[in-house]
Structure 1
Amino acid sequence: MLRVAVVGSGPSGCYTAQSLVQRDPGVQVDVLDRLPCPYGLVRYGVAPDHEKIKSLQGSLRTVLEDERVRFLGGVRVGGPGGLPVERLRSLYHAVVYCVGAATDRRLGIPGEDLPGSWSATEFVSWYSAHPDAADAGFLRGVRSAVVIGVGNVAVDVARMLVRGAAELRPTDIPQAALDTLSASGLTDVHMVGRRGPAQARFTTKELRELGALPGTEVTVDKADLALDLGDPGALPAVQRRNVEVLHGWAAQPSAAAERRIRLRFFLRPVELLGDGDRVGAVRFERTVPDGEGGVTGTGRYEDVPAQLVLRSVGYRGVPLEGLPFDAASGTVPHREGRVLRDGAPSAGEYVAGWIKRGPTGVIGTNRSCAKETVTSLLADAPTLARADLPADPVVELRAAGVDPVPWSGWLAIERAEAELGARLGRSVVKLSDWDTLISTARVA
C-alpha cells in the first residue's frame, strides 16, 4: 500500500489527493495543513460576497471525506516549531508539497513601510478571518484609499472597502470585520494601474460588479482611455469587453453618491508620502505606452491623498525550510513535479500548485498541474513503496509533539460557526482566532 502525505489542503492539495485516489486503488493519502481548517485560499482568499466561488468548498470537501483520505490539521511543516521536512519524509512513501504562494510582491519604493501601507493579502486575510491576521486598524481615520494593481484581487478589495452592512451581513465575514467596514468613514477608493486598460488583468465579470454596488459611483478618466494604443476590436475577448465597460463608465455623467471608486491608469507609484505618523498620499509618475507593450515615465507627477494604501501586485512563494528554493521565481525547482536537489530528482518529494509553477492560472488550473505531478509520483511508486514505514504516522507525529486536528475537529468548528451565526442573527460567521479554533476543534 502506497502512503502519501499532501502538505496543504487548498485546491492544489485536494486535487492532488483526488487524482491519487482515482488513479491508484491502493493509495492512502494524509492531507496536512498548518491550520485547523481546510480549503486554503477558497476559505481565506475568496471574498465573502462571492458565494458562488466559495461553494467550491463542497467539491473539496468530497475529496477530504473520501475513505482513503485523512485530514490532519494543525500540522506545521518546516520552520520554527514545525515538523522537519526530513522527519515527515520518513513517515511516508512520498510527500507532495502544495503550499501555495504565501506572501505578496512589494513595490520597492520609499515610504512603503509607513503605517497605513499594507499588502492586499493582509487586508484579505483580515476580512476572511485568517487566524494569523489581526485588526490592524486598517480603516481607522481613513477617508481615501489607494489600491495599487488592476487584477481581480484589487477589484475584490476595492469592492469590499465600499460594501455596506446590508450586503455583507448575509455572508460569513467575521463580526468584527463587518462592524469595522460598516462604520467606516471612507468615501473614495482609487484603483490604479501603471499600464493601460487593455493590459489590466481583472475579468469582466469582476469588473462589472463594481458598477452594481449600491450608493457607489465608478469613474474612469477619458484621457486614460485615450492613451491606449491600437484597435480595441483587435484585443482578446476579455480585454475588449473590459475596455468596453470602462468606456461606458467614462461616458456617464457624474452622479451624487456616498462613495466613489476611481479607476486610474498609466500611473506608476514612486513614493508613499507621510502625514504625521502614517501614510498620507501616494506620489505617482504619469506613464505613456512605449509601443512595445510596456510603459515609460514622463517626468510628470501626481499626488493622490490616501490614509490607506493596499498593494495588489502579485503573490510570491516563500522558502520552506528543508526544501530547495529558487528565489528568482519564488518556486521549488522541479521536473514534472519531481523536486530537484542539485539538479537531480529527489526520491519521494514532489510539488504541485503555485509553489510548483508560480502564482498563475485560475483555481481550475490546479487540476492539470496536480495530474502532472501525480503521474510522476505513480511512475515512481514501485520503487518508493519498498520503503518500510511506521504503522501509523499520527502516532509518530504525536510522539514528536504534534497533535493533529482530525476531520471531526474541523466539523466541530463548522458547527460552532453556524451556532455563532444563529446567535448573531446571521448565517454562518467565521471564527477568527487561533485559541478559539483549536479549543473548539479539541472538544470534538
Structure 2
Amino acid sequence: MLSLSAIAAILIFAAAYVLIAAEKWVTRTAAALGGAALMLAIGVTDAHAAFYAEETGVDWNVVFLLLGMMVIVSVMRETGVFEYLAIWAAKRARGRPFPLMVLLVLITAGTSALLDNVTTVLLVAPVTILICQRIGLSAVPYLIAEVAASNIGGTATLVGDPPNIIIASRAGLSFNDFLVHLAPVVLVMLIVFIGLCRWLFADAFHADPEKVAELMSLNEREAIRDRRLLVQSLAVLGVVLVAFVLHPVLHYAPSVVALLGAGLLVAVTRVRTEQALQDVEWSTLAFFMGLFVMVGGLVNTGVLAGLSKLMGGFAGDNPLGFTGLLLWGSGLLSGVVDNIPYVASMAPVVASLVGPDGQPQVLWWALALGADLGGNATLIGASANVVVAGIAARNGVPIGFWRFARYGLVITAVTLAIATVYVWLRYFVLAG
C-alpha cells in the first residue's frame, strides 16, 4: 500500500514529466525546478535528502563534471579548433551527408567507450552544429544520432556510462569484465545502428551543393585563431582525459578532475573568467538539479525501490524470464527517469538475487544493457541527452521532446532486441 507521500511524489513527478514532454507552457528547466520545489515544500523530501544524501540527492559529481568540461570547451572555442574539426570532418566525408553521419557516429561511439558519453558529446556536439551550418544541413538528426551512438558506445566499458560505474562498484566487476561481456554486442549494435540511421534520417541527407563546394575549397588550418591558446587547451584536455582513464589508479572522481582541469586552464591562459563561463549551459545544470531532486523524492518515498522489488519478485525459478524482464524493464524505466538514480535503486535488488558467489552474473549485464540502452528512449533518459539538448537550444536548433522520442524509441527497441538475443545465446544457450 502506497503512503500519501509516495502518491504525492508520483503525482508531482508525473505532472512535471507532462510539462517537460508538452514543451508548451513552461521550459523543461522550469518544470524540473518547479517539481523539485513542490516536493521540498510538502515534505516528500527535505534539504538533507535533496542536497547531501548520496542516494536521494543531487548527484554533484555529474553537475560538477559537466561544469568543469563546459568551461574547458568554452575556452577551446576561442581557439577556432571546433571550426577546424568541422571542416576536416566534412572534407573527409567529401561533403556527403550520410558518410558524414557515419563518421561522426563512429567517432562518438568510440570516444564514449574510452571516456564517458557526457564528456564526448560536450566535445562533439559543437563541431557537429558547425559542420551542418557549413553545408546547409539540419543539425538535429545528426545530434540525435550522436546521442544514441554515445549511449550505445558507452555501454561497452566500465567508464563509458555512469550506470556502469555504479554496477561495477556494487558487483565488484573490473574494466575487463565489461569489455569482455558487453563490447561484442555493442559492436553488433553499432553496425545495425548505422544501417538504421540510413532509414530513420533519410530526409536529412540533402546538403547545399554550393556550400559543399565552398567548404571543400577551405583550408582548415586557417580556422585556428590562437595557436598558443590551442596548445595550452589541448595540453590540459589531454591531462584531463588521461586522468579519466586512470581513475582506477589515481582514485580522483571525474568531477574533481574536470574542475581541476578547468581551473588550471583558466589560470594559465589569458582567457578572462567571464569569457570561460559565458558558454556554460546553466539551464542544463539547473535542469539536472531539479530532476535529481524529483527522482530523489521517488527514491526517498520508496517508489523506485518498490518497482525494483516488484521486478525482483518475478525472478522465481525462471532465470531466463526474469533476465528478459530485468533487461526490458530497465530499458523502459530508464527512458522515464534518468538511468543513474534508477540503477542506484536497482543495484541492491540485483545484488540480493546474484548472491555472494557471483552467480548468475548475467543479471548484472542485463541491468547494464537495459539501463544504458534505455537512456536513448527519451530526451531525459540519460545525461548525454540532456546535455546535447541544452547545446542545441543555445545554438538555435532546439530538439523537441517528441521529435527525439520518435527516433529514440525505435533505436531503443532495436538495440534492446539485439541485447535480448545476445544474452539468451551467450548466457543460456551456449553456456548450457
- Judge same fold: TM > 0.5, yes or no: no
Q: TM-score, normalised by structure 1?
A: 0.26
Considering fraction of residues, name the structure with more helix. 2
Q: TM-score, normalised by structure 2?
A: 0.27
Considering fraction of residues, name the structure with more strand. 1
Larger radius of gyration: 1
Higher relative contact order (CA 8 A, sep 6+): 2
